[in-house]
Structure 1
Amino acid sequence: MRVAVVGGKLQGLEAAYLAKKAGWEVVLIDKNNQVPALKLCDQFYKNDVTKIVEWIPILKKIDLIIPALENQEALNSLVRSAHYANVPLLFDGDAYVISSSKLVSNEMFARSGVPAPIPWPECGFPIIVKPSDSSGSQGVYKINSALEFQRLFEKGLTDWVIEEYLEGPSYSLEVIGYAGIYKALQITELEMDDVYDCKRVLGSPTLPVKLREEFVQLGLRLARNLKLNGIMDIETILHRDTLKVLEIDARLPSQTPIAVYHATGTNILEILGKAFAEGKPWADFEIQPKQSVVFEHIHVSKNRLEVAGEHIISNAGPLTLCKNFFGADEALTNFTPGRTEWVATLIMTGESNQEAWDRRCRVIQEIVKEIGIAQYIDRYPAQRELEI
């Protein structure tokens, strides 16, 4: 199958990686010719998909379009051009409209009785403040007092989600849907850096079986409510033995599908892509964890190695897929011998969580030894300083 991946940053990197694992030919389209996914594609077009006259000819001999961006103008253009060229588009515009606004999706949670953080002012401090229309960790603040709250909003910020701050481990789940058939995939565990950006994914979560079953049923319920025709991911936090939904995103996520692939052997994109290309749902299948996975991002610079969120990958330029990278199964990296500053997404596996983690530690130790690293940093969430 020949697929067009539109957007070459974090989502595009995920799409291109999984598409190549499926054995597909990947045509990448982006306005920037230095995006992370560049070296994972078979063919690249520097193109603006909002310029339909220039974009339509590229669709010749394309079997499936995979949006890997969140620009609404570009997404609208893809919907029009896919219809015009009669090429399947792996995208659910109606579900995306709801999930792309945290205010709208929170209203849906409230109507549906979905457990979620208590909104302000019904909750006390500390609270989390985040933009309604930003994805991931962009613009997230933890506010501990009324004074901090006042200082932040003196900056004239509007359309923000304000809700209780919850402590506990974070988990993610992908759900796919096509023609009224839904399937929940593997639950993964997320670890954040100091600005609440996901720095590490554990492919086999330490979550009790009962809560796993609850999460799966919650995911299927949300998919049915949205009449999902595509993919969505659901991020939750386990707070006082209750999984509370932080957000949903009805688009191809980054990080977790690759972790699921290595943990279970299930390629989410391959299953869903075939459904869209062939016009029929998948045959039922089981998700069976086969091994544990640690998937994490590192930034090396000035004799320092820092584990950090995926934002360090977004603007790193083209990445290469490397096997047995300092002992890791695979890495997506811009490392070259002698380079003093570089990034890598490391993928380590093991028969158990402990074995995968021990292997991860050996990989970090090997990098530290070979490169001559003097400082190792692995930050966890903390209050974000306000720029006043």
Structure 2
Amino acid sequence: MNEEHGSRKKKVLVLGGKLQGVEAVYLMKKSGWQVTVVDLDPDCAASAMADTFLCFDIMEADKLQQVMREHDFIIPALEKLPVLSVIDETARECGVKMMFCMDAYRITRSKLASDAMFHKLGVPSPRYWPNCSFPVIAKPSDRSGSEGVCRISERAKLELYQARHPGLTDVVVQEYLEGPSYSIEIIAEKGRMWTFEVTELEMDDRYDCKRVICPSGLSPKLQSDFAKCAGELAEMVKLDGIMDVEAILNDGQLKVLEIDARLPSQTLTAVYHSTGVVPPAIYAEGIGSGGVLCCPRCPERGVIYEHIYVAAGQLRFVGEHIMGTQGALNWTYGFFGADEALTNYRPGRASWAATLMITADSRKEAWKKHEEVIRTILDQEHLECPELDENLTDCDEREYVL
């Protein structure tokens, strides 16, 4: 993985410097690659993490082609379809390997198209309104993650939501399900597929992921079922690249919420810290051919990967989007006792954010270390945390994961 091309390190081009770009830079540098980031914003989150940062518009195809030819591997780290189309076409012209599948992305970026595929495969998923009761979740079909997601408790509020968003013709309205959320990543190349460790996701009050936990706590059977489901979905969209599948455990059954055929943020770093495996680097080196679904089992360390935001003398546990609003992030070790952190913190600063990476031999020990880290931050920075108790408790032994 870390061999050099002749006398130089292998070079990866990360296109986009926001949250997905941070994930790509972090993982590929951990794998020994030399990393270049391109983004139009000189102060984007990943700009200070890369070996080389280039500030220009990715839509400039001639300039993009020139930069692509200087690299061995490409990772698109954005979601705008026109930009991705230019990237896809230019990479094909240059003949440089890229971890992205445009055809699969076109399907998965539409929640309506994805859900139609779930039903065709018989994949368990939330029921659509009006074939369900309130509360429901409303979300735009073509937006990613938590963007535009709204929980609605009654018919009158649903009608009000629809009236306030007349331009949203493709809104998905589904039943709201209670239960923990999980994610699994899959890479595919020439028909061969690899899945990786299942991660547990915890959300903030805006349905934005605030914390990723490993190991997931799911039973081996549920993990195996989840991996098999991911493989079927990847085969259906003819994936040649990377995709993540998110599901919720409800009444003892994993129900798929969404799939996205693009580089995810957060979960892959948690997988790396738990198993030592870097999926993008594996894809870059090639995973062979043939229709085999490989589910490698690696030693699992306990990992807590979470985001905190400090302002007005308080510490809050928040969704990942806060990290995209803080400017260039610095990569640091031993941050208040955390193994690593990505942050804009500096002593005396009144407002800052951090992504904390905390690891230990087990999930239980990781939570114990997590509490020590948070209490150290609160003590040394003289902060309060109104939501402290609920964020220091791990429901590790749940009946529904047995």
Do they superpose with TM above 0.5? yes
Please point out which of 297, 315, 333 is paired with 1:305.
315
User: Within 5 A, what are the aligned runs for 1:245-324?
Assistant: 245-275=256-286, 286-324=296-334
Task: Using the aligned pairs only, state the percent identity.
Answer: 44
Distance 1:214 1:283 in 2: 12
Verify: 1:339 aligned to 2:349, yes or no.
yes
Residue 352 of structure 1 deviates from its aligned partner by 1.5
Aligned to 1:228: 239
Aligned-partner residue type, residue 91 of structure 1: F
Q: Which residue of 2 aligns with 1:328?
A: 338
2:190 maps to 1:179: yes
**Could you report, residue by residue, the CA deviation over 1:9-57 in whole angstroms, capped at 9, with x for unpaired residues?**
0100000000100100111000111111111111111111111122222
Note the alpha carbon deviations across 1:179-226, whole angstroms, 9 max, x for none.
Answer: 100111100000000000000000201212221111111111111212
Is 1:96 equivalent to 2:105 in the alignment? yes
- Corresponding residue for residue 400 of structure 2: none
Contact 2:195 2:294 in 1 (8 A): no
C-alpha distance in 2, partners of 1:28/1:140? 30
The residue matched to 1:347 in structure 2 has which SS?
A: strand
Contact 1:175–1:185 (Cα < 8 Å) also in 2: yes
Instruction: Compare 51-60 and 197-206 and name the one that shifted more.
Output: 51-60
Residue identity in the other structure for 2:302: S
Tell me if 1:201 matches 2:212: yes
Residue in 2 aligned with 1:219? 230
Any residues of structure 2 matched to 1:130-141 within 5 Å, and which? 130-141=139-150
Pairing 1:39-78 to 2, within 5 Å after superposition? 39-78=48-87
Q: Look up the match of 1:15.
A: 24
Q: How many equivalent pairs are there?
A: 378
* Residue of structure 2 in register with 1:166 after alignment: 177
Tell me how far apart the structure 2 counterparts of residues 55 and 250 of structure 1 sit (CA, whole Å): 22
For 2:179 and 2:16, locate their aligned partners in 1 and report how far apart those are by CA, in whole Å.
33
State the SS of the aligned residue for 2:70.
coil
TM-score normalized by the length of structure 1: 0.94
Q: Which position in structure 2 is the counterpart of 1:38? A: 47
Counterpart of 1:371? Answer: 381
- Give yes or no for contact 2:146–2:207 (8 Å, CA) kept in 1: yes
How much does 1:280 deviate?
A: 6.6
Query: How far apart, in 2, do the equivalents of 1:283 and 1:58 lie?
Result: 34
**Residue 136 (structure 2) aligned to one of 102, 127, 132:** 127
- Tell me which moved more, 192-201 or 154-163: 154-163
Of 219, 224, 238, 2:249 maps to 238
Q: Check if 1:150 corresponds to 2:159.
A: yes
Contact 2:20 2:264 in 1 (8 A): yes
- Give the 4+ runs in structure 1 shifted more than 4 A: 279-285
Letter in 1 for 2:343: T
User: Does structure 2 retain, via aligned residues, the 8 Å contact 1:204–1:289?
Assistant: no
Amino acid corresponding to residue 78 of structure 1 in structure 2: I
Counterpart amino acid of 1:197?
A: D
Give the distance between the partners of 1:357 and 1:289, measured in 2 at CA: 18
How far the C-alpha of 1:283 sits from its partner, in A, is: 12
Q: Aligned partners of 2:75, 2:246: CA distance in 1, in Å?
A: 22
Matched, 1:353 2:363: yes
> 1:307 offset after TM fit, Å?
0.4
The farther-off stretch of 200-209 and 5-14 is 200-209
What is the distance in 1 between the residues matched to 2:144 and 2:335?
30
SS across alignment from 2:350: coil
SS of structure 2 residue aligned to 1:191: strand
Q: Following the alignment from structure 1 to structure 2, what is the Cα–Cα distance between the partners of residues 283 and 92?
A: 18
State the match for 2:4 in structure 1.
none
Query: CA–CA distance in 1 between the matches of 2:20 and 2:289?
Result: 25
| Alignment root-mean-square deviation, CA | 1.7
- Give 1:285 deviation, angstroms: 7.6
Inter-partner Cα distance in structure 2 for 1:252 and 1:326: 29
8 Å Cα contact 2:308-2:317 kept in structure 1? yes
